[in-house]
Structure 1
């Protein structure tokens, strides 16, 4: 069923705005031209035809799909990954554009969701199937894939109550879109009910859990962290990592941490902001607070007097987590927030703290909260206090870790369930 006229008209009208947004976030003209080429055509040549096509939005979804993509690359299947954000694409390339996966792997931006563009893209790449990760649904993308007989799967799907209400308001768009999917594999029962209410086929929708639980830290990052510990003499340091932070979280958290950093010279805070366009802003913030700050992008190392290390690089999150003894996961103290994935630090046995606004990961986080496997804080002051306590009190950190690992072990296995369904379409 073709997408509604009003949707296509709206896309046509906002296209110039979309181009200007791409220009605004590009670091240089070459990057702008490259992204426009991938968004609006003529598209990059296909490295491999008949690839398994994974569409992931950004860093979080790329990380979630990592074990699945890895599985198919190891099995010798060609994989095409499309992203909608610069950070997502950088992450995908850092994970898979290397030996031994490089010949089988390609990452490009998803074209703008205009029927003619999407159709040309599919005809050029001729994918074996389209695997949409989490809630990344585009009406023309699904419609054109259906018309061109490309199987369409929504995997690791999640849908908050708030998002479901939003989709419900445009049922002329969302109902046919969900009915155009061959399979809907969701993380939990609540999401399953919401998808079915919105139009997904109950016979082809099922709860298989979250593949995020099947996560593991890449060995080369763990090895690199051990090397940095040695090279930068970090053995005596107590290290907190603040990851995926948004404005105004850094300002509030660094202000709250400042007294601890001043009183304890062994304390170090590594800051990994969510969006690269905010790197300079966060650096200026740390400087304004008169905290001794070094930057990864300038190739600077952590010195004896470094209080803040700004990890303004792409695709190195695992490295910073592997160095830390406590972690704050951002996007959870800002308003409205929503939170980010807590499973990466937990996979590395790093005691984890987050703010109260974590509705994007409600089901996952609540499971850890129920067994005291993570710490939820109300504000930046409490966050600083709890993070410091975890460094000073090994028993508390150990108890938090032990509870978190129980939940991790209980939930593994979703990856295998996803593979069983996907394999039916190979």
Structure 2
């Protein structure tokens, strides 16, 4: 009954959902495209058998890359289907995998839309990345004997509290999940408390520790860094609404002692690129846009990172990285990427999306957590003044990263057992 009511409400709200997509399209036109995919009416297709990976957006797509690569190597007779929910996630899939996978948006959580999609793609298993739990998706797979695996699973206490408010729906849903491959024991037990059978839980660690940086990418970052090698450089990566102003306030304080400092400002969502450019104009900063491919000269205080797929390169071209979504109450983003690129890493106090990883790094002094923009400026000035301290933090962070690798092998083993 709970799922029936949920499905009925979802169908009733579909006009509102599509109106929301249309309105978002005013800033990001891609939201007004490919609507038929969102109700399962994709282009004519009939796969024989496939492995289906769902990754909601950019972060989940990046986490899924090593899994997908291994699936392609281990199961050459299977088609690989990758679904996302956002245009940015879609763009990442296309950029990374090209035509080697079948990609479309995930149909909304409506039984008939998902049923049509499943019939056409013939998945033998569905791997959902991190915490994208949809009751009808899971049920439609369950009733067709398609195992659902939640890979690299994480669940914050606030998210768990939300699921508890829908206890009857959540319990039934998690009872139909084949396996949860949790990043930590604490997060795994949250799934169990919501209704996951304990036998279906396996704690594997986080795939994010298995990050591998290609030498080619490091070389590109080093080449870019030559343009401002003589200047101290801070990158603020994946910033959110209301955070850019705080970053610029901190940057003003930094420039009081390091007047030649350069800020690389990278908004998380492309629909905010123009908004952040307008903010830089309003604050009267001399800046250059990465999308214009113009050289950064000494007159430029800010490089606006308004391109997609270049974040790792830009991280590697900086001395210090601040990871956004953490000075505002968004929950933070992946702090391991700048560490892997050899950059001293700072985050704000709001890190509930990466709490376990952040706490592990903190225990070893492999990351710095700041309380506000003033504290951010103080830490940056300290690192700029003492590069050895920054390098030491990077070394400690990389030690933590290397010691916690291995989740990929564990998750592949668990998935292999369900495919075979």
Fold conserved (TM > 0.5)?
Answer: yes
Matches of 2:394 and 2:93, distance apart in 1: 29
CA shift for structure 1 position 182: 0.9
Cα-to-partner distance string for 1:244-302 (whole Å, 9 max, x where unaligned): 11121111111221243466454211111111111111111111111111112333332
In the alignment, which residue of structure 1 is the partner of 2:240?
246
CA contact (8 A) 1:47 1:106 kept: no
Alpha-carbon shift at residue 16 of structure 1 (Å): 0.9
Aligned residues: 417
- Pairing of 1:336-355 with structure 2 (within 5 A): 336-355=329-348
Q: Does structure 1 retain, via aligned residues, the 8 Å contact 2:148–2:179?
A: yes
- SS of equivalent residue, structure 1 residue 37: helix
**1:10-409 matched pairs, under 5 angstroms:** 10-26=9-25, 31-32=30-31, 34-46=33-45, 49-75=48-74, 76=76, 77-97=78-98, 102=99, 104-230=100-226, 233-261=227-255, 264-334=258-328, 336-409=329-402
Q: State whether residues 3 and 136 of structure 2, in contact with CA within 8 Å, keep that contact through their aligned partners in structure 1.
A: no
Per-residue deviation, 1:33: 5.3
Change (3 A) 1:277 1:252: same
When structure 1 is superposed on structure 2, of 28-37 and 50-59 the one drifting more is 28-37
Report if aligned partners of 1:61, 1:134 keep a CA contact under 8 Å in 2.
yes
- Residue 291 of structure 1 aligns to a residue in which SS? coil
CA distance in 2, matches of 1:218, 1:96: 16
CA deviation digits over 1:34-90, x for unaligned, max 9? 330210242134485422111111112112222212222344353211111122222
- In the TM superposition, what whole-angstrom CA distance separates every residue of 1:207-261 from its partner, at most 9, and x where no partner exists? 111111001224443232233345xx33323221111111211111112212434
What SS is found at the alignment partner of 1:228? helix
Q: Quick one: distance in 2 between partners of 1:32 and 1:214? A: 32
8 Å CA contact 1:242–1:330 kept in 2: the answer is yes
Q: How far apart in 1 are the matches of 2:44 and 2:26? A: 24
- Output one character per residue of 1:300-323: Cα deviation in whole Å (capped at 9) or x when no partner: 332232111111111211111121
What CA distance in whole angstroms lies between the structure 1 residues aligned with 2:28 and 2:155?
A: 37
Q: 2-side partners of 1:14 and 1:406: how far apart?
A: 49
Q: Is the 8 A contact 2:233 2:262 kept in 1?
A: yes
Counterparts of 1:339 and 1:227, CA distance in 2: 29
* Residues 47 and 120 in structure 2, CA contact (< 8 A), matched pair in contact too: no
CA distance in 2, matches of 1:93, 1:265: 41
1:415-426 correspondence to structure 2 within 5 Å? 415-426=408-419
Rounded to whole Å, the distance in 1 between the matches of 2:320 and 2:366 is 13
Distance 1:108 1:222 in 2: 31
Instruction: Work out the CA distance in 2 between the residues paired with 1:243 and 1:290.
Output: 21
TM-score normalised over the length of structure 2:
0.94
Alpha-carbon contact 1:390-1:397 (below 8 Å) kept: yes
| Structure 2: unaligned runs, 5 residues or longer | none
Please state how far the C-alpha of 1:155 moved relative to its aligned partner: 1.1
Aligned equivalents of 1:219, 1:26: Cα separation in 2? 37
When structure 1 is superposed on structure 2, of 16-25 and 190-199 the one drifting more is 16-25
TM-score (norm 1): 0.93
